[in-house]
């Protein structure tokens, strides 16, 4: 499960090695420590790849992921012995996994071949449907833990691989064609007789949150949206990251411009169609907006503006701002609260 940008084993390894004291002749302790750290780094990277692959195949990797995060914590503390021991447990957990999702390949509204993971709850269809829209350039499997939490409460859950992600074809478009992928999934699942009427909800983070809001503005069957750290005005986002000195903002700008095809002055329509504020009139869903006050990538003012636009139109909307959080809520207590707010929202409006 992704909650904003996190340090990877590779990044941590490069950072540590770049800061390591030079090995002095005869310092076997230092040499052993570097070798130990390199071994654990390689094992950690391999385990992360295995977890991701198995998740994308539809297996329940929650236990393996949880232990992997414990190993990463030990690694950050430079306790490589503990990290190595925990990685043994990760590999053990990967030996006996339950298949919990099926892979669905389908065609998006514009004809792009796309894919996703379908999680069915116990019982017989139809069920209320929740679409879980992944963040950034992630995959359906990255958010399988979230899908299973929702499924376990009686919902049919679909995690799309946006175009250019996971097993889908095409390229990333920054909340344009990805919306077509989501809407096509709703049509597909309804056509399969799996969805209980128009009881359709969405949860998304960051890029996925923007997709969720725009999709709700285009499809009135979407009855509830939980949006975390969404950009709602693409042109304003461009201006913000252009002026920012944050390295992550620079990376975002470098990624976003090729997707959109230019600046807001050069291609204004491309920014308009990617901005949920322009779909406020069409949104009939009950919307819960979650945002960190200190988000360096997407200013909290974007959430506040979306809230005001929906409130002015008499829509059901709520805004939860976390004063000390950045891009997505990462504090464990806050994270648990977000999930509870999400469950309550779907329970009330789906």
Q: Does residue 219 register a pLDDT over 80?
A: yes
CB atoms within 10 A of CB 316: 16
Higher-confidence position of 24 and 177:
177
Mean pLDDT on 37-57: 92
Tell me the per-residue pLDDT of 81-95, one tens digit each, with 9 for 90 and over: 999 999 999 999 999
pLDDT tens for 299-320 read: 999 999 999 999 999 999 999 9
In three-state form (DSSP H/G/I as H, E/B as E, the rest C), the secondary structure along the chain is CCCCCCCCHHHHHHHHHHHCCCCCCCCHHHHHHHHHHHHHHHHHHHHHHHHHHHHHCCECCHHHHHHHHHHHHHHHCCCHHHHHHHHHHHHHHCCCCCECCEEEEEECCCCCEEEEEEECCCCCCCEEEEEEECCCCCCCHHHHHHHHHHHCCCCEEEEEECCCCCCCCCCCCCCCHHHHHHHHHHHHHHHCCCEEEEEEEEEEECHHHHHHHHHHHHCCCEEEEEEECCCCCHHHHHHHHHHCCCHHHHHHHHHHHHHHCCCCCCCHHHHHCCCHHHHHHHCCCEEEEEEECCCCCCCHHHHHHHHHHHHHCCCCEEEEEECCCCCCCCCHHHHHHHHHHHHHHHHHHC
Structure tokens that stand for 303 in this block: 């959430």
Residue 56 pLDDT > 70, yes or no?
A: yes
- More confidently predicted of 12 and 329: 329
CA 244 to chain centre: 23
pLDDT digits (tens, 9 = 90+) for 7-39: 444 444 433 333 333 333 334 444 445 556 888
Domain with CATH 3.40.50.1820 in the chain: 102-349
**pLDDT, mean of residues 162-173:** 95
**What's the CA gap between 69 and 136, in Å, rounded?**
20
Q: Which CATH architecture has domain 102-349?
A: 3-Layer(aba) Sandwich (3.40)
- State the CB neighbour count (10 A cutoff) for residue 339: 15
């Amino acid at each position: 499960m992704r909650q904003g940008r996190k340090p990877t084993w590779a990044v941590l390894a490069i950072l540590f090695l770049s800061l390591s004291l030079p090995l002095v002749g005869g310092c076997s302790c230092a040499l052993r420590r570097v070798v130990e750290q390199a071994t654990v780094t390689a094992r950690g990277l391999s385990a992360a790849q295995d977890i991701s692959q198995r998740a994308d195949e539809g297996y329940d990797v929650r236990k393996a992921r949880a232990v992997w995060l414990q190993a990463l914590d030990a690694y950050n503390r430079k306790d490589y012995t503990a990290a190595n021991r925990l990685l043994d447990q990760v590999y053990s957990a990967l030996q006996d996994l339950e298949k919990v999702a099926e892979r669905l390949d389908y065609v998006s509204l514009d004809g792009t071949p796309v894919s996703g993971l379908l999680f069915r709850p116990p019982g017989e269809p139809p069920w209320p449907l929740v679409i879980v829209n992944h963040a950034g350039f992630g995959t359906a499997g990255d958010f399988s833990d979230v899908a299973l939490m929702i499924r376990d409460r009686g919902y049919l859950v679909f995690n799309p691989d946006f175009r250019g992600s996971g097993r889908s074809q095409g390229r990333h478009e920054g909340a344009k064609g990805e919306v077509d992928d989501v809407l096509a999934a709703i049509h597909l699942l309804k056509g399969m007789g799996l969805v209980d009427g128009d009881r359709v909800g969405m949860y998304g983070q960051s890029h996925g949150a923007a997709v969720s809001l725009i999709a709700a503005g285009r499809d009135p069957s979407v009855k509830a949206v939980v949006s975390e750290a969404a950009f709602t005005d693409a042109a304003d986002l461009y201006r913000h990251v252009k002026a920012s000195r944050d390295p992550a903002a620079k990376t975002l700008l470098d990624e976003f411009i090729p997707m959109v095809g230019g600046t807001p002055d050069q291609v204004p329509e491309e920014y308009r169609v990617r901005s949920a504020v322009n779909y406020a009139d069409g949104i009939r869903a009950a919307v819960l907006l979650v945002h960190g006050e200190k988000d360096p990538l997407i200013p909290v003012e974007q959430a506040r503006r979306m809230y005001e636009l929906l409130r002015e139109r008499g829509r059901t909307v709520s805004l939860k701002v976390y004063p000390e959080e950045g891009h997505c809520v990462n504090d464990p207590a806050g994270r648990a609260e977000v999930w509870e707010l999400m469950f309550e929202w779907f329970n009330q409006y789906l």
